[in-house]
């Protein structure tokens, strides 16, 4: 039993074929997903080409089906929060406004950003980058295309194109990432959206996770996409109720599944989980980019001194870390270099500098520990909401896979044994498992964990 999973990420697009019986990836393709050239755009805009993304996905899909023509279904996932406008034929009429787009942080009046204004008038906390905030700004500033009749996530747009559908459908995991999602209604809170001055008719229709959207030209079923956070959890956690998932990639997140929604948790987001339950998520915006920022600093320093561009700075940083024997020596880094969800204007800090600890190695250790500490703060908060402590820490994301010392710091800080998901493309695996649940080959989303493997560090 084989299913295709497609993950339309911020920096890459991945497609794979997953074999349920062997619990493994048979084939995988990854391609870059670049931003549009900034020329002609504002510095705070972060846009991508929706149709180019579709053509890339189509090409990846054709290759995968050529290798495994007997696949039973296609699941999708992708970067959450961003939106693309579509016309009445289901075709894009705008670029993809990604989750990193900054228009929601701009001032609408003397005391509010667009995100703050929309949050205040809707009664929901909606942060910059969320689709409703982006749409709100576009509406107020005349940027909504005249032919637009709706908007949706990039993964749901690709689903439209793959199936020839014209009306965008979206599951709860993606709807919550757009904003103003109600757990009680299992839908957008359209009354709150209307009260904030937005037309609910522009919203995509919400359908259950695992819903069949349509068929490809080859007659393969395509299922409603999942938000990438929920899909990563689904594709990497064998025992959902006992596990905390730490993902460190472009951004970083800590996720834990609770049986039901029990109100807000300070500093964390409650997100619908496919099949029921609530995924509590603490998101740190900088994530792996924090260590990349330090690498860039060292790279510029070396190039300025030698006159030559260094080839492998990360190897040098590994050596610096080994030389310092796993110690930051009191140096502390708060890696809020892109702000936080609740405070976009917050910035990172380096503290505790002394005459003895201001060394490149201590700084590298402090950066890594700061990345872990930011996620551990969410862990302390979520532990107060559960009766039984979490027993397992699962790690995912390229930053953890590439840096064993980061994994060691995570285990020491959390006090839990840590495993890495076997498949590095966790979100795409989760998308494939979603298709398997939708097809009936897996009985439920809770049972999907039986079809994945995790590895002890």
Alpha-carbon distance of 406 to 15, in angstroms, equals 27
Domain 2-228 shares a fold with domain 238-422: yes
Taking residue 322's Cβ as centre, other Cβ atoms within 10 Å add up to 11
Instruction: Dig out the tokens for 347 from the structure.
Output: 């910035």
Are 157 and 92 spatial neighbours (Cβ–Cβ below 8 Å)? yes
Residue 61 scores a pLDDT above 90: yes
Residue 339, classed as helix, strand or coil, is: strand
Q: State residue 242's pLDDT score.
A: 86
Residue matched to tokens 């005249």: 146
Residue 456 scores a pLDDT above 70: no
The C-alpha angle with vertex 287 and arms to 159 and 36, in degrees rounded to 5, equals 50
Residue 402 scores a pLDDT above 90: no
Taking the CA atoms of 113, 285, 258 and 17 in sequence, report the sign of the dihedral they define: positive
Average pLDDT of 359-387?
Answer: 91
Average pLDDT of 112-120?
Answer: 95
- Taking the mean position of all CA atoms in its chain, how far away is CA 186? 21
pLDDT, tens digit, 9 for 90 and up, residues 134-164: 999 999 999 999 999 999 999 999 999 999 9
Q: State residue 457's pLDDT score.
A: 66
Q: What are the CA-CA distances from residue 306 to residues 24, 303, 320 (Å)?
A: 46, 5, 19
Q: Of the candidates 454, 26, 6, 16, which has an alpha carbon nearest to the alpha carbon of residue 243? A: 454
Q: State residue 259's pLDDT score.
A: 83
Alpha-carbon distance of 294 to 126, in angstroms, equals 31
State the average pLDDT for the chain: 91
Alpha-carbon distance of 257 to 262, in angstroms, equals 12
Are 429 and 5 spatial neighbours (Cβ–Cβ below 8 Å)? yes
For residues 326-362, b (16+ Cβ closer than 10 Å) or e, as one string? eebbebebbbbbbbbbeebeeebeeeeeeeebeebbb
Residue 419 forms beta bridges with which residues? 394, 456
Are 168 and 155 spatial neighbours (Cβ–Cβ below 8 Å)? no
Alpha-carbon distance of 177 to 269, in angstroms, equals 10
- Taking the mean position of all CA atoms in its chain, how far away is CA 357? 35
Total number of residues shown for the chain: 457
For the chain, what are the domain ranges?
2-228, 238-422
Taking the CA atoms of 60, 72, 240 and 238 in sequence, report the sign of the dihedral they define: negative
Instruction: Dig out the tokens for 386 from the structure.
Output: 């559960």
Alpha-carbon distance of 156 to 93, in angstroms, equals 15
Q: State residue 326's pLDDT score.
A: 67
- pLDDT bracket for residue 343 (50, 70, 90): confident
Q: State residue 47's pLDDT score.
A: 93
Residue 430 scores a pLDDT above 90: yes
Q: Sort 166 into a burial class: Cβ within 10 Å, 0-12 / 13-18 / 19+.
A: middle
Residue 318, classed as helix, strand or coil, is: helix
pLDDT, tens digit, 9 for 90 and up, residues 168-179: 999 999 999 999
Alpha-carbon distance of 14 to 7, in angstroms, equals 5
Average pLDDT of 249-264?
Answer: 82
Alpha-carbon distance of 166 to 157, in angstroms, equals 10
Q: State residue 5's pLDDT score.
A: 97
- pLDDT bracket for residue 323 (50, 70, 90): confident
- pLDDT bracket for residue 345 (50, 70, 90): confident
Q: Of the candidates 147, 140, 77, which has an alpha carbon nearest to the alpha carbon of residue 113? A: 140
Alpha-carbon distance of 270 to 261, in angstroms, equals 7
Q: State residue 22's pLDDT score.
A: 94
Domain 238-422: give its CATH code: 3.30.420.40
Q: Of the candidates 282, 208, 228, which has an alpha carbon nearest to the alpha carbon of residue 437? A: 208
Alpha-carbon distance of 5 to 232, in angstroms, equals 12
Alpha-carbon distance of 218 to 71, in angstroms, equals 11
The fold of the 2-228 domain, in CATH, is: Nucleotidyltransferase; domain 5 (3.30.420)
Residue 390, classed as helix, strand or coil, is: coil
pLDDT, tens digit, 9 for 90 and up, residues 208-234: 999 999 999 999 999 999 999 899 899
Q: Of the candidates 353, 229, 232, 338, which has an alpha carbon nearest to the alpha carbon of residue 288? A: 338
Instruction: Dig out the tokens for 211 from the structure.
Output: 């819903």
Taking residue 25's Cβ as centre, other Cβ atoms within 10 Å add up to 18
Q: State residue 50's pLDDT score.
A: 93
- pLDDT bracket for residue 388 (50, 70, 90): confident
Between β-strands 2-8 and 74-78, what pairing exists: parallel, antiparallel or unpaired? parallel
Alpha-carbon distance of 280 to 181, in angstroms, equals 15
pLDDT, tens digit, 9 for 90 and up, residues 257-308: 988 877 667 678 889 999 999 999 998 878 888 999 999 999 999 999 999 9
């Amino acid at each position: 039993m084989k299913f295709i999973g497609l993950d339309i990420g911020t920096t890459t697009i991945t497609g794979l074929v997953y074999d349920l019986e062997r619990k493994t990836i048979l084939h995988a393709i990854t391609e870059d997903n670049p931003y549009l050239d900034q020329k002609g755009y504002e510095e705070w805009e972060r846009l991508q080409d929706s149709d180019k993304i579709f053509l890339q996905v189509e090409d990846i899909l054709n290759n995968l089906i050529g290798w495994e023509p007997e696949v039973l279904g296609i699941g999708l996932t992708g970067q959450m929060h961003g939106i693309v406008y579509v016309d009445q034929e289901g075709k894009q009429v705008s670029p993809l406004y990604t989750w990193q787009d900054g228009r929601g942080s701009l001032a609408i009046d003397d005391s509010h950003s667009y995100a703050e204004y929309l949050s205040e008038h809707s009664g929901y906390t909606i942060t910059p980058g969320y689709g409703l905030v982006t749409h709100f700004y576009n509406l107020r500033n005349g940027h909504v295309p005249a032919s637009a009749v709706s908007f949706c996530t990039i993964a749901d747009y690709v689903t439209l194109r793959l199936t020839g559908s014209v009306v965008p459908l979206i599951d709860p995991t993606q709807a919550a990432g757009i904003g103003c999602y109600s757990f009680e209604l299992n839908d957008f809170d359209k009354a709150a959206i209307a009260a904030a001055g937005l037309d609910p008719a522009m919203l995509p229709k919400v359908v259950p996770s695992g819903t069949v959207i349509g068929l490809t030209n080859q007659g393969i079923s395509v299922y409603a996409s999942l938000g990438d956070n929920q899909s990563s959890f689904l594709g990497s956690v064998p025992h959902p109720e006992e596990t905390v998932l730490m993902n460190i990639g472009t951004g970083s997140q800590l996720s834990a599944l609770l049986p039901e929604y029990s109100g807000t948790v300070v500093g964390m987001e409650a997100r619908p989980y496919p099949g029921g339950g609530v995924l509590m998520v603490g998101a740190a915006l900088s994530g792996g980019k924090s260590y990349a920022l330090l690498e860039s600093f060292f790279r510029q320093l070396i190039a300025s001194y030698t006159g030559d561009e260094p080839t492998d700075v990360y190897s040098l940083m590994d050596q610096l870390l080994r030389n310092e024997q796993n110690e930051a020596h009191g140096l502390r880094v708060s890696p809020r270099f892109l702000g936080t969800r609740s405070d976009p204007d917050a910035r990172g800090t380096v503290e505790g500098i002394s005459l003895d600890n201001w060394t490149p190695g201590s700084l590298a250790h402090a950066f890594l520990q700061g990345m872990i500490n930011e996620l551990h703060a969410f862990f302390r908060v979520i532990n107060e909401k559960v009766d039984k402590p979490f027993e397992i820490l699962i790690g995912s994301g390229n930053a953890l896979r590439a840096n064993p010392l980061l994994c060691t710091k995570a285990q020491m800080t959390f006090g839990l044994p840590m495993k890495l998901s076997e498949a590095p493309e966790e979100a795409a695996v989760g998308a494939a498992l979603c298709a398997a649940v939708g097809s009936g080959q897996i009985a439920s989303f809770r049972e999907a964990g039986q079809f994945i493997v995790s590895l002890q560090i």
